[in-house]
Amino acid sequence: MDKGKVLASSLLSKYKHFIFDCDGVLWLGSQRIPHSVELLRAIEDAGKHCYFLTNTSLVSREEIRLKMNDVLGYDIDADRIFTASSLAGSHVRINMSHKKKALVIGRGLLIKEIQATGIEVIDASQFDNRYEDFTYETKEDMAFEEIDLVVMGYDDRINYYKMALAFYAIQKGAELVSTNADRATNSYGYPELKTLGNGSWVACLESASGKKAFVSGKPNPGIFKIIGDIHHIEREDCLFIGDNLETDILFANRAGVDSLLVLTGVTEPKNMEHLLNREGAGKPTFIANDLS
Ligand SMILES: [Mg+2]
């Protein structure tokens, strides 16, 4: 054990609730990270509780539950799993039930999450091909005055029509909810480069309108309240475990929850000191090499 580091298993007696990030903590892609299942089982055996919080907006809670079965051989109720899409739905259901009509820009899963809240949804994918005849001069019946909520997730069919419709609605008072703030995201076509993330469309609308979006992914501390209220979790009884300083540890710090940084994902032993000393990076309560 290196100086200043702890054994993750030594923290078991200190907390009642353990919220895990997934990628880089439990698995890397489709590879199980050693010691992850053993710690999950030890927490359960001690009569304590595990939850899972991931920033992905493209995969459903059920798909993550199935991946846990496949990769870890570990089964858990889907209601203990939180994704950026499911949290956008929870936020709308809990805090925005008075809304009448939502414009949802994103993939099918996000549309379903918002439809499940009972709010009428305009699925922006019907405008996927509205880019040839629409300009800043166009005046047509866009019904933006009826839209009182705009929800955005990753959409690689984004276009000027969708953005203009969202911006018109926001100027008329619609609120903006986003699944994440990632301005750049992995490009699988060009692995050495990033591509535009959902956060870049959201930043565009924020910049034009001067209004801030509610971001349903980490590091927004508001999502701890959603999870905590659903599962009756008190901050002081909870440990958050993640591999990313800028999302996981910043989230825990902002939410007032203790955190454990593990060095099995984006923060590696060789770049840890550099990342910890970088301006704006959060400091974790504990650091461990892995979940042993
Ligand atoms: Mg991670």
For residue range 16-66, list pLDDT tens digits in order.
999 999 999 999 988 999 999 999 999 999 999 999 999 887 889 999 999
How much is the pTM?
0.86
Distance 282 CA to ligand 1 centre (A): 15
Distance 268 CA to ligand 1 centre (A): 12
State residue 1's pLDDT score: 61
Distance 244 CA to ligand 1 centre (A): 6
Distance 63 CA to ligand 1 centre (A): 17
Q: Higher-confidence residue: 222 or 187?
A: 222
The first and second tokens of residue 106, run together, are 């994103």
Under 8 Å between Cβ of 259 and 242: yes
Residue appearing with tokens 């994704």: 83
Distance 55 CA to ligand 1 centre (A): 8
State residue 148's pLDDT score: 96
State residue 41's pLDDT score: 97
pLDDT over 90 at 158, yes or no: yes
Distance 154 CA to ligand 1 centre (A): 18
Nearest to 100 by CA among 127, 125, 118, 112: 118
Please report which confidence band the pLDDT of residue 135 belongs to, taking 50, 70 and 90 as the band edges: confident
Distance 157 CA to ligand 1 centre (A): 26
pLDDT over 80 at 281, yes or no: no
- The radius of gyration computed from the CA coordinates of the chain, to the nearest angstrom, equals 20
